[in-house]
Amino acid sequence: MKRQLIQFTVILSCLFSFQALYAQQTINTAGSYKSYNNYDFTAGEKIIFEDDFRSDQDGEFPAHWDLQSGQAVVNKVVDVPSLSMVEGNYAKVFPRVKIKQYLPEAFTVELDHLMQSVNKPSGIVLFFVNAAGKEAMLTINDNTVNYNFQSKNISSQLPDDIRTKKYLDKWNHIALACRNNQMKVYVNQFRVLVLPGLDFVPVSLKIGGIGSQKSPILCTNVKIAEGGGMNLLQKLTTDGHLIIHGIRFDYNKSTIKPESMGVINQIVTMMKDNMATKYEIQGHTDSDGNDDFNIKLSEQRADAVRDILVELGIEKSRLTTRGFGKSKPISDNDSPEGKANNRRVEFVKL
């Protein structure tokens, strides 16, 4: 009886620990878009690769990845499907992309990273590979961001608002933009590192770190896209519409994620500089789910974008909204990257 009571106490303690972590994540990942007022990261316009691990079975290696070293599985962390690198020094995984050298001259990378305070791991590493197979390492942990390639070693400390304990036990959004031999690295709402001269031309990417069963490297929502830093006004003037992939929503919801504020801030500036122009905001989904749900979701997402623009000072009379669901794909719905390109918000000049 005593042994059963001890086991029950341990289980209950674990349950409360997970509940506490979930409560903290609910608060911390929701965030406030107002803290992103100066955020200037803009995701690339064409998705090369995207994976949120929702199509993978828990405990199995993810279908859209390959393994170079160590061990990795998909695990749910507080109900969030995540890639868990559980063994290796270094563990290295890489996305299955049809062409070997898939990173263009201008690209962006995004992912969500979780460092747990219990048995804290050393951080997550992005390994950028050049055409000769050499690797540059970008390491992000709860304290610093460090870039290392040959004799070049550049580090920056995270801002106090997100450093050490404030980084732990929550999902942090990492984003980087590479263009013209320059790389900018962002963690949550802050630009944390600028590399003005890479002396390195990356053509592919691996993700990893020093992982173990007790201290796994955890990430999710990995996105690689071509482009970044699009001139919105020039694009709208030339084409009459904008295709935006940088406005992110919670899964199957219309809640806008804070990291969307980079492109939203640019849209606000563009609209304030062109006060006479009116726009239709269009929501589009992929083919997953039934038609009625997708139509409603796309309408709600278009409305959510309109509402945040109004809150940021754009007159509501200048904005109309419309949801198309899956009816107007711009890519296939047979691959993760095709579906990701179809999930979008469009702005049409009226």
Average pLDDT over residues 56-76: 97
240 and 327 together in one domain: yes
pLDDT digits (tens, 9 = 90+) for 89-108: 899 999 999 999 999 999 99
248 and 301 together in one domain: yes
What share of the chain in percent tops pLDDT 70?
91
Inside any domain, residue 8: yes
Average pLDDT over residues 198-220: 95
203 and 299 together in one domain: no
Least confident of 11-15, 121-125, 237-241: 11-15
> Does pLDDT of 16 surpass 60?
no
Inside any domain, residue 36: no
Mark which of 184, 211, 226 sits at the end of a domain. Answer: 226
Mark which of 226, 246, 268 sits at the end of a domain. Answer: 226
Cα 12 to Cα 24: distance, rounded to the nearest angstrom = 18
Inside any domain, residue 341: yes
85 and 205 together in one domain: yes
Residue 322 pLDDT level (bands cut at 50, 70, 90) = very high
109 and 220 together in one domain: yes
- At residue 32, the pLDDT reads 64
Q: What is the mean pLDDT of the chain?
A: 89
Average pLDDT over residues 319-332: 97
210 and 260 together in one domain: no
- Whole-model pTM: value is 0.88
pLDDT digits (tens, 9 = 90+) for 25-34: 332 343 466 7
Inside any domain, residue 40: no
285 and 339 together in one domain: yes
How many domains is the chain built from?
Answer: 3
Residue-number span of the structural domain to which 162 is assigned: 46-226
Inside any domain, residue 158: yes
222 and 100 together in one domain: yes
pLDDT digits (tens, 9 = 90+) for 232-250: 777 877 888 899 999 999 9
- At residue 11, the pLDDT reads 34
Inside any domain, residue 41: no
278 and 202 together in one domain: no
